[in-house]
Each structure stands twice: as C-alpha cells, then as structure tokens.
Amino acid sequence: MSSTPGSSGLILDEGLLWEKGKKGRRGFSMPVRDVDESPLPEGLEGDPPDLPELCEVDVVRHYTRLSQWNFGLDTGMYPLGSCTMKYNPKTNERQASLPGFIGAHPLLPDALCQGLLRIIWETGACLSEITGMDETSLQPSAGAHGELTGMLLIHAYHEHNGARKSKIIVPDTAHGTNPASAALCGYTPVPVKSNDRGVMDPEAVEAVMDENVAGIMITNPNTLGFFEENIHRIAEIVHGGGGLVYCDGANMNAVMGAVKMGHIGVDVMHLNLHKTFSTPHGGGGPGSGPVAVKKHLSPFLPVPRVVRREDGGFRMSSEFPLSIGKVLAFHGSVGVIIKAYSYIRSMGPGLADASRLAVLNANYLMARLKGILHLPYDRPCMHECVFSDSFQKDHGVTTLDIAKRLMDYGFHPPTVYFPLVVSGAIMIEPTETESRENLDEFVLALETIVREAVENPALLHSAPSLSKVRRLDEVTAARKPCLAG
Ligand SMILES: Cc1ncc(COP(=O)(O)O)c(C=O)c1O
C-alpha cells in the first residue's frame, strides 16, 4: 500500500493483498483444540504456500475499493454506442444462479438435465419467434462467433448445391466484425458504399452482384443507427443472383416486436444475447451469439442440437448428417441463455415497448444535442445517434477529449471513432433503461463540455481529472497492460 494518504478523495488507493498481510492475522477463529496434535502424513510437510495473512475487514475493503475504481451499469449511464449497455434486471441474474443450474455439470446425461435442455429449446423457439426465423442454434458464444457460424452455414449450403462462390458483399455501415468473419471463412469481402441517407442503395448492390457472390452481410439497424430501408429489394437482388442474405442482428434492441427479419428476406442472422437480452456486453464475456435460420439452412446448423422427444422430453442429438459440426463445446453459454430466457419470459410483449423506448431515447438525445455537436446524418435514428467533433475541432478539441471529459461528469464515454464512415465519430446509444432525467443530465454535461471547449480547452485535453486513473497512452496501455498496483 502506498505510504501517502489516498490521493483521489474517496476513491482510495489500494495496494496488493500481499503487501497488506501481517503474520498471525486471521479472518476466522478456530475453536480450541480438544484432541492431541498429530503430525502431517509423510510427504505433506514442508513450507506452507506463500499466502498473505489477512483479517476479514482487510479483504472486504480491498475488493470493495477495487470495485469503486470501475464504472458499471449499476453505477450510471453507459451510452456506449453499438454495445447496448442497458441496465439488466437482477431477477435474471438470480434465475441463472439457482443452485440446480450452477451445480449442473456439462457432461450430465440428458435424463438428469431435462430442465436445462427445456430452457435451451424454449429459448431457441422464443428467438425464432422474435426474429421470424424457423430455427435457432444457441451454440455460438459471441456475436462474431455467430457471424462466422453464419458464414459457414452459407458455405455449406452452396457446397451442398454444387456451387462454388468466393465473395461476400459488406456495406461500409456494417459492424467491423462482419468483413473479418467473411474473410475468416475464406470469402473475399466486397465493400459497398452507403448513400447520403446512411443506408445501402439497391443499385449499389446490383452493381457488384455476380455469380461468385455467396451472399451479403447486412448489419440492420446499421452502425449509423439507421434501418436498412431497402433491405427487401436488396434481398431480391441477392437471391436473384443465387446468393443468401445474412443479417447482423446484434442491434435487435431497436426493433424487437416491430420487425421480423425472416419476413423481409433474411436467410440467416445472429443476435447478441449479451446486448439485447439481459447480459452486459462489456467485461469480456461470457456472451452468446445465437444463429437463427430459415428452413433451407436448418440441415446445416451446428450439432449437437436439443430436440424434443415424442414423450415431450428433450435430448441432445447429433443425427444431422449435413451439419457444419460443433462450434462450441457442451451446451453453449448456459448462464447467459438462462438470463435471456428469464428476460424474455418476464418481459413478454413488453419487449416491443423496450425497443420503442430505446428508439425514443436515442431520438430525444439526437434532437437535444444536434445544435451543439455536429450531426452528419440529420434524420430520425433507431437505437443510436452518431455525431462528430467537427464543431469543436476549431478549438483544438477532439472526440477523445470530449469523451474523457464526460467521465468527470459521471458518465461512461460513448463509443468513439466508430463507425469509420464518420470522421471523429461520437456514437451514443442511451438504451431504454435511462429516464428522461438521466438523459437531461447527460445533455447538460455535454452542453457544459462544449462551452469548456471554447473557454478553456486545456481542461478537456487533460481530462479525466477526477478518475482513479488519468488520461492513458491508450496504445501503450493496450500493448503493455499493467495490471497490478
Ligand atoms: C452490430 C454488431 N455486430 C457484431 C458485434 C460483435 O459482437 P461480439 O463482440 O459479441 O463478438 C457487435 C458488438 O458490439 C455489434 O455491435
């Protein structure tokens, strides 16, 4: 522990537990021994492990202080565009933590985990219903993993039909993982520029469509926060040329109960349960990226699959000879699936209201902020709105400065410098769980920051000034992370 008092007010300094330990300190009291001491069996003597000796209060304060250096969804508004960082109801965590689920071993025979198999089966059915698709696999463990699975399904489909194709069309408003997933599957991504409304033109797709195109990957709503309004016509063009339509449905939080992708030409799509369905996206996992398909792609879905037996029970089955095989061990990210199930069942038709509110909140922020931040696409948005720093640049203030200064006002920064189609992008996704008061406070903070950008830009250059860790050299922080002290 440092020898100087905590330097950030109530955000206290904290050293390593090893530095805190004192010989003889205990977190428990053993009863007085009432039997004779007996030596350890031969081979077990020797030096004890080098563990710090601590009392309970040391340990509790250590971890509580560390948690206070962080900012989470339970702390405040987290408008990280493209990540749908909404508040996740605690009841869903509780269901996923029920002892029967936590204690279930992944190798349990089907007969001993019927409840779990039923939840997996029913969650798949709910997601198929929400998306308008025919069948859903819950195996993939992340959005990008779902994309790769979807690409493998498209490849398997074409191969089965004797077609060899080499290209996937990817618009410039797609999520960054889309072209990477296509390339990982061996396809060459073919870029398509969006139009001045921030969406794809059917003519632009037509221009690159040929017999070598295996499909198109459409992020919908896209990374500018717009619904791809021409998707139906685009799907006709791609299908007409022998290709399939993949939808990156990670932004489903904007359209639940309003749009069924399966009804507007999509053949295969993924969802991010760890955005829309009650698991936060940040934190590095675990996640779940289910893949939903129309009937013609069902035979290729990963195995093993949960299938319903004739007696109403469930079993895992690998009897699908055209399957692409396994993409993850065991049953998928079970904890995340249970939370999604609990969320869907407890929300019911309210899922549509959640989407409506997410869209309303984003449009409210867009309308309130468009005078003070540059809005490159000035039209109603879906779940997120994208600004740029071009008004502030004259004062030498950049997107990064604005984002860092927001931390001093108690907000997690928005996503910055993404999507790439907007230079200096500031991408704000408030989600449905923020109240009008929270949104107004966020607007007030940004109004103050843009005033500071004119009157005292140095304040912004040195921000954040109230956090435990100040402005980092982000490249060094990523390349040489210092995780201790
Ligand atoms: C639209 C979109 N697609 C795909 C992904 C990738 O998901 P994951 O980070 O789980 O791989 C994300 C993640 O934010 C996303 O926003």
Q: Is the CB of 248 under 6 A from ligand 1?
A: yes
Q: Is the CB of 251 under 6 A from ligand 1?
A: yes
Mean pLDDT of 45-50: 84
pLDDT number for residue 382: 98
Examine the pLDDT at 4 and tell me if it is beyond 50. no
**Most informative mutation of 80, 82, 85 for ligand 1 (most atoms within 8 A of CB):** 82
DSSP H helical segments within 185-258, as ranges? Answer: 202-208, 231-240
Closest CA to 471 of 419, 417, 402: 402
Distance 271 CA to ligand 1 centre (A): 9
What confidence category does residue 2 fall into, taking pLDDT thresholds of 50, 70 and 90? very low
Distance 167 CA to ligand 1 centre (A): 22
Cα–Cα distances (Å) from 99 to 165, 194, 333, in that order, read 49, 50, 17
pLDDT number for residue 12: 82
Examine the pLDDT at 1 and tell me if it is beyond 70. no
Instruction: Specify the pTM.
Output: 0.92
**Most informative mutation of 80, 175, 178, 226 for ligand 1 (most atoms within 8 A of CB):** 175
Residue minimizing CA distance to atom 7 of ligand 1: 143
Mean pLDDT of 339-354: 97
Mean pLDDT of 240-260: 98
User: Which position has the token pair 């720093």?
Assistant: 389
Mean pLDDT of 276-305: 93
Q: Is the CB of 361 under 6 A from ligand 1?
A: no
Strand order in the sheet with 415-416: 385-388, 425-428, 415-416
Rg (CA), the chain: 26
User: By mean pLDDT, which of 32-41, 262-271, 314-323 is the weakest?
Assistant: 32-41
- Which residues make Cβ contacts (< 8 Å) with residue 430, sequence separation at least 6? 77, 79, 358, 361, 362, 364, 365, 439, 442
Distance 270 CA to ligand 1 centre (A): 10
Examine the pLDDT at 282 and tell me if it is beyond 80. no
Residue pLDDT, tens place only, 371-419: 999 999 999 999 999 999 999 999 999 999 999 999 999 999 999 999 9
Residue pLDDT, tens place only, 372-382: 999 999 999 99
Residue pLDDT, tens place only, 155-179: 999 999 999 999 999 999 999 999 9
Distance 216 CA to ligand 1 centre (A): 17
Examine the pLDDT at 139 and tell me if it is beyond 90. yes
pLDDT number for residue 44: 84
Distance 429 CA to ligand 1 centre (A): 14
Q: Is the CB of 225 under 6 A from ligand 1?
A: no
Number of Cα atoms under 13 Å in the Cβ half of residue 267: 26
pLDDT number for residue 8: 58
What confidence category does residue 285 fall into, taking pLDDT thresholds of 50, 70 and 90? confident
User: Which position has the token pair 């492990």?
Assistant: 49
The secondary element (H helix, E strand) that includes residue 367 is helix 350-369
Mean pLDDT of 268-288: 91
**Most informative mutation of 82, 177, 217 for ligand 1 (most atoms within 8 A of CB):** 177
The mean predicted confidence, pLDDT, of the chain is: 94
pLDDT number for residue 325: 98
Residue minimizing CA distance to atom 16 of ligand 1: 82
Residue pLDDT, tens place only, 83-93: 999 999 999 99
Quick one: which atom of ligand 1 is closest to the CA of 223?
A: 1
pLDDT number for residue 431: 98
Q: How many CB atoms lie within 10 A of CB 380?
A: 14
Q: Is the CB of 355 under 6 A from ligand 1?
A: no
Closest CA to 452 of 406, 387, 390, 386: 406
Distance 228 CA to ligand 1 centre (A): 17
Q: Is the CB of 270 under 6 A from ligand 1?
A: no
Distance 274 CA to ligand 1 centre (A): 9
What confidence category does residue 6 fall into, taking pLDDT thresholds of 50, 70 and 90? very low
Q: Is the CB of 287 under 6 A from ligand 1?
A: yes
Residue minimizing CA distance to atom 5 of ligand 1: 143
What confidence category does residue 40 fall into, taking pLDDT thresholds of 50, 70 and 90? confident
DSSP H helical segments within 69-176, as ranges? Answer: 90-96, 99-102, 114-131, 143-160
pLDDT number for residue 3: 43
Examine the pLDDT at 125 and tell me if it is beyond 80. yes
Residue pLDDT, tens place only, 424-452: 999 999 999 999 999 999 999 999 999 99
pLDDT above 90 covers a percentage of the chain that reads 86
Q: Looking at residue 198, what DSSP letter applies?
A: S
Examine the pLDDT at 95 and tell me if it is beyond 50. yes
Q: Is the CB of 175 under 6 A from ligand 1?
A: yes
Quick one: which atom of ligand 1 is closest to the CA of 147?
A: 4
Distance 109 CA to ligand 1 centre (A): 33
pLDDT number for residue 196: 97
Residue minimizing CA distance to atom 8 of ligand 1: 143
Residue pLDDT, tens place only, 201-239: 999 999 999 999 999 999 999 999 999 999 999 999 999
DSSP letter for each residue of 267-333: SEEE--HHHHSSS-S-SS------EEE-GGGGGGS-SSEEEE-TTS-EEEE---TT----SSSTTSS
What confidence category does residue 468 fall into, taking pLDDT thresholds of 50, 70 and 90? confident
pLDDT number for residue 45: 82
